[in-house]
Amino acid sequence: MSSRSANGINVELGECINNTGFHEVDKTEGVVDGDAENTISAVSGSPNGEGDAYTQIKPYAGMPKEVLLLYSQQARYRLPREILFWLILVCTLALVALTITVIALSPACLSWWQSSPVYQIYPRSFKDSDGDGVGDLKGITEQLEHIEFLNIKAIWISPFYKSPMKDFGYDVEDFRDIDPLFGTMQDFDALLAAMHDKGLKLIMDFIPNHTSDKHQWFNLSRSGHEHYKDYYIWADCNSTHPPNNWVSVFGNTSWTYVEDRKQCYYHQFLKEQPDLNFRNPHVRREMTEIVRFWLEKGVDGFRMDAVKHILEAKHLRNEPQVNPLQSPETIDTEFELHHDYTASQLGLHDILRDWRAEMEVYSREPGRYRVMITESYDYEEIEKTMMYYGTPNVKESDIPFNFYLLDLPRNLTGAGAQGLVSLWLANMPEGKWPNWVVGNHDKPRISSSAGLDYIRVINMLLLTLPGTPTTYYGEEIGMENINVTLDQIQDPFGQFNPVSNSSRDPQRSPMQWSAGPNAGFSDANNTWLPLHPNYTTVNVEAQQKDSGSVLAQYRALSNLREAELPLHRGWMCYVRSNTDVFAFLREMDGLDKAFLVVLNFGEDSVLDLSDVEELPERMTVRMSTKQENDGRQVEKSSIATARGEGLLMEYYAHVRFNPGHASRCFVSEKACYLGALDILYKC
């Protein structure tokens, strides 16, 4: 069907849709002599009311633009539209403001090295995959499920560089290669890939202070090569008279004469471990390149070994004797000298900060922060250890290892435990993150030094304190030191003085995986160190089946630490300590749930906390190291603990302890909980 318009153009008309809201205007109304302009005027309406007005009741589908504009200006259509527009605008601005506020008030998320314990693996002793009696990288890969089972996300692996093994990997021949004893670079790449696939992080040992005497740099240096001659510390001497009285950590003089150069080189450790000269800028560049090499590989951080030894005084003066009356000729151990010239020298922290800056470059990718941990035994000079945290303006170590809990066996009381914890927290710079170590490859296992009765309560201490705990392999099942006969000693430190019981072999025995041959560690006829005879009962396989085992309790604590906000980032407040018990709170502002931790390091005891008003009268034992006590109700006036027992008690209260006892409380990453939105915010 077609129709001719007023201007003579044919318009094709299709089927129409009946609009019940439309009624046709009489053809004679608004049209005079067929004038098309009058028709438009009738549709448009006259602003002054003259002429024919458009009388349509409501809009209809297919209305012309003029009709649409007419209706859009009416109040009943315009006002809802404007209200809706401003409502959307205000809501959008409010949402943006809320988002900005939440971001601004949200505390920093804990990094991976803060949220998880660190598990130390001594690779020689973890798992042997090729039947030679020595652990290796493939063996670690095979046992990653054990790390996942423990709910641990970070692994620190002791050295596996190419090495003559005079000090079991701490004498490095090539920083860019893997020792064949542990596998190949392909094995390392496979291990790292497998770890990252499982969401695990790898921390490498980095040994900057020295190399092996088999290292190419040292061979060139001892031959007098122009570029390498000052890569190490050389001094004029002869074969019988060293340059000064400096003593090696392993005992006797720290100087060794080399006939080729008619000079002595300096070594703070074995003579097979010559010290690098970090006052040579070429050495610093070389070591930074090595850091960069492993970061490019994808490692997640470094544990920097023996950092306080990196620099020595240039003047080479004799160090003062601890006992001025002692005959100088009899001095042969490090503890007989004050190390004013061979430790913690000026310039040391500049070197570490340079490495930290290099690691920052590789930390820019979200979720790939590269952690830096420093190792320095400073004994009573804790202020030197704290300097590794850096300054408010200059970043250095994320955590300097805290070795003071290693003294717990000598301070095995509740008050002694609190004293060691307080020693670190009281000296740590504000806003820094603490860490806790109760065992490693250099110190006796805590089960042997403190006693089997206390291994469970020490694990509870480790996993309920604020900060990052480090667990030495085997501590999660309560492994003990082995007995090593004189002919079995492998450790060079022990070989230097075998009758002094200074060997570190006892705490390095093979991991006890099962009750099978060689404890499931190796298929070899002999392992590099003997196994502990208790492996038939103390092993991973057996303890996984026992809900009350040391392993089961370690895992439960690890899971609780991750799941409960007060335990992994809340306040820690001292409540009570005495000869037997150490009690502290873990709480978070804004959160009603809190925890009371009572640890018994002495004999059976009953603790009365009725004077602590912030505690409710009754609490629930969330976990005890004695499984039969789990879930029981405890009166705060009568908290009974047995020898070596630990209690983690849960309670609910609106009143927090920390506001009224600021001097007894500590928090590092402070945050408050907002229950209405289930979020944390800065407070």
What is the rounded CA–CA span in Å between residue 512 and residue 525? 16
Output the domain CATH number for residue 584: 2.60.40.1180
Q: Is residue 590 part of a domain?
A: yes
Nearest to 270 by CA among 249, 240, 291, 294: 249
- Model pTM above 0.75: yes
Report residue 683 CA to chain centroid gap: 24
What is the rounded CA–CA span in Å between residue 439 and residue 475? 8
Q: Is residue 391 part of a domain?
A: no
- Supply the pLDDT for residue 21: 46
Asked if 82 is an active-site residue, the reply is no
| pLDDT greater than 50 at residue 37 | no
Domain end among 57, 86, 105: 105
| pLDDT greater than 70 at residue 9 | no
**Structural domain for 86, as ranges:** 66-105
- Supply the pLDDT for residue 30: 40
Cβ–Cβ under 8 Å, residues 171 and 164:
yes
Cβ–Cβ under 8 Å, residues 333 and 326:
no
Which value, to the nearest 10 degrees, does the dihedral of the CA atoms of residues 423, 429, 430, 434 take?
A: -60
The residue-averaged pLDDT of 641-660 equals: 96
- Which residue did the predictor score with more confidence, 174 or 23? 174
pLDDT bracket for residue 492 (50, 70, 90): confident
Q: Is residue 286 part of a domain?
A: no
The residue-averaged pLDDT of 461-477 equals: 98
| pLDDT greater than 90 at residue 6 | no
Q: What does the DSSP assignment read for 116-152?
A: S-EEEE-GGGT--SSSSSS--HHHHHHTHHHHHHTT-
* Residue 372: strand pairing partners: 302
pLDDT bracket for residue 60 (50, 70, 90): confident
| pLDDT greater than 90 at residue 501 | no
Cβ–Cβ under 8 Å, residues 585 and 573:
yes
Domain end among 77, 105, 133: 105
| pLDDT greater than 70 at residue 346 | yes
- Supply the pLDDT for residue 18: 52
Look up residue 245 and give its two tokens. 């009285």
pLDDT per position as a tens digit, 538-548: 999 999 999 99
- Supply the pLDDT for residue 57: 55
Q: Is residue 615 part of a domain?
A: yes
pLDDT per position as a tens digit, 411-428: 999 999 999 999 999 999
- Supply the pLDDT for residue 628: 95
Judged by DSSP in three states, 560 sits in helix
Q: What is the domain count for the chain? A: 2
* Strand duo 161-162 + 174-178: pairing: antiparallel
| pLDDT greater than 70 at residue 220 | yes
Q: Is residue 412 part of a domain?
A: no
Residue 367, H or E segment: none
Cβ–Cβ under 8 Å, residues 347 and 315:
no
- Supply the pLDDT for residue 679: 87
Mean pLDDT of the chain: 90
What is the rounded CA–CA span in Å between residue 294 and residue 382? 31
| pLDDT greater than 70 at residue 36 | no
- Which residue did the predictor score with more confidence, 283 or 104? 283
pLDDT bracket for residue 366 (50, 70, 90): confident
- Supply the pLDDT for residue 446: 95
Residue 230, H or E segment: none
Q: For the chain, what's the residue count?
A: 683
Q: Which residues contact 413 (CB under 8 A, 6 or more apart)?
A: 578, 579, 580, 601, 602
The residue-averaged pLDDT of 354-374 equals: 94
- Supply the pLDDT for residue 499: 65
The one catalytic residue in 305, 334, 475, 491 is 305
The one catalytic residue in 375, 378, 564, 587 is 375
pLDDT per position as a tens digit, 594-650: 999 999 999 999 999 999 999 999 999 999 999 999 999 999 999 999 999 999 999
Look up residue 65 and give its two tokens. 């633009």
Nearest to 439 by CA among 401, 411, 383: 401
- Which residue did the predictor score with more confidence, 148 or 498? 148
Torsion region of 570: left, alpha or beta (phi above 0 gives left; psi -120 to 50 gives alpha): beta
The residue-averaged pLDDT of 75-104 equals: 89
| pLDDT greater than 50 at residue 35 | no
Torsion region of 83: left, alpha or beta (phi above 0 gives left; psi -120 to 50 gives alpha): alpha
The residue-averaged pLDDT of 32-52 equals: 41
Q: Is residue 496 part of a domain?
A: no
pLDDT bracket for residue 505 (50, 70, 90): very high
- Report the greatest alpha carbon distance in the chain: 136
Look up residue 384 and give its two tokens. 């030197």
Domain end among 58, 81, 105: 105
Nearest to 485 by CA among 503, 468, 473, 466: 503
Provide the percentage of residues in the chain whose pLDDT is more than 90: 79
pLDDT per position as a tens digit, 376-414: 999 899 999 999 999 989 999 999 999 999 999 999 999
Lowest mean pLDDT among 69-78, 241-250, 389-398, 493-502: 493-502
Q: Output the 3-class SS for 383-416.
A: HHHHHHHECCCCECCCEECCCHHHHHHHHCCHHH
Look up residue 124 and give its two tokens. 């020689």
| pLDDT greater than 50 at residue 310 | yes
What is the rounded CA–CA span in Å between residue 13 and residue 390? 84
Asked if 669 is an active-site residue, the reply is no
The residue-averaged pLDDT of 348-356 equals: 97
Q: Is residue 619 part of a domain?
A: yes
Most confident of 1-15, 26-40, 80-94, 466-480: 466-480
What is the rounded CA–CA span in Å between residue 670 and residue 107? 8
Look up residue 671 and give its two tokens. 């945050």
Q: Is residue 433 part of a domain?
A: no
* Strand duo 263-266 + 234-236: pairing: antiparallel
pLDDT per position as a tens digit, 115-146: 999 999 999 999 999 999 999 999 999 999 99
* Residue 154: strand pairing partners: 118, 201
